[in-house]
């Protein structure tokens, strides 16, 4: 199942039964099953209805299971439509998400670094789709979150086009020891979609799962 949303969200829920005819509502099907059973019944036990009863119970159980699955699918459709509709207020706003893909939008990209802890500084590396290093910079970490902005220029000063770029951040302790460092990226929400059952936010050419949202927008 997949769905998408842009600046405007429309959620449509359909009710009613979408399944085929029910066994219990189809007299012809029931009579056909009964006749087939009687034709193949053990002639030495003409009054034995135990097997027939068991099979009818099995048929009813399968029918009930199919109906339950159809109901669950309809509920899931409604839930997913509601989730997509819930992303409408985020359209056009800047959000912070946990991702290693940095969106460059209108020549601007932003990385959010955590407060200093074991690591007192961080090295940021930005690469293109081929893995070529475009920019590398070491940033001092402060007592609060540090926001580092990229102007879209590479090490030679050439302006890179808007898109999604790979980013890696390595923390460094005071003695120079490298340490893992969590970070987030910021970008403007341009859409939302459901991909393989997961709700995904589009940040220009980059995307991130809705569950990776770390900070709600403050201003456009």
* pLDDT tens-place string over residues 182-215: 999 999 999 888 787 788 889 999 998 888 888 6
Cβ neighbours for 95, distance < 8 A, ≥ 6 positions apart:
186, 187, 188, 189, 201, 203, 213, 215, 216, 217
Highest-scoring range by mean pLDDT, 18-22, 87-91, 135-139: 135-139
Name the fold adopted by 94-215.
Answer: Immunoglobulin-like (2.60.40)
How do the domains of the chain map onto residue ranges? 22-86, 94-215
The SS3 assignment for 125 reads strand
pLDDT in tens, 145-177: 999 999 999 999 999 999 999 999 999 998 889
């Amino acid at each position: 199942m997949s769905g998408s949303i842009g600046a405007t969200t429309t959620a449509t829920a359909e009710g009613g039964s979408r399944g085929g005819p029910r066994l219990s509502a189809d007299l012809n099907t029931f009579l056909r099953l009964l006749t087939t059973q009687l034709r193949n019944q053990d002639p030495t036990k003409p009054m034995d209805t135990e097997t027939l009863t068991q099979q009818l119970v099995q048929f009813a159980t399968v029918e009930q299971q199919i109906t339950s699955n159809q109901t669950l699918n309809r509920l899931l459709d409604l839930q997913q439509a509601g989730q997509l509709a819930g992303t409408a207020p985020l359209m056009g706003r800047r959000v912070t998400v946990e991702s290693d893909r940095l969106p460059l939008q209108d020549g601007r990209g932003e990385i959010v670094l955590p407060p200093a802890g074991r690591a007192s500084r961080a090295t940021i590396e930005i690469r293109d789709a081929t893995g070529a290093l475009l920019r590398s910079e070491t940033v001092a970490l402060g007592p609060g979150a540090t926001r580092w902005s990229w102007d879209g220029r590479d090490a030679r000063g050439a302006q890179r086009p808007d898109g999604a770029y790979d980013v890696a951040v390595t923390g460094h302790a005071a003695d120079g020891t490298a340490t893992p460092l969590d970070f987030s990226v910021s970008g403007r929400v341009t859409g939302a979609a459901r991909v393989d059952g997961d709700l995904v936010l589009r940040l220009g050419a980059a995307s991130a799962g809705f569950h990776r949202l770390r900070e709600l927008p403050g201003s456009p």
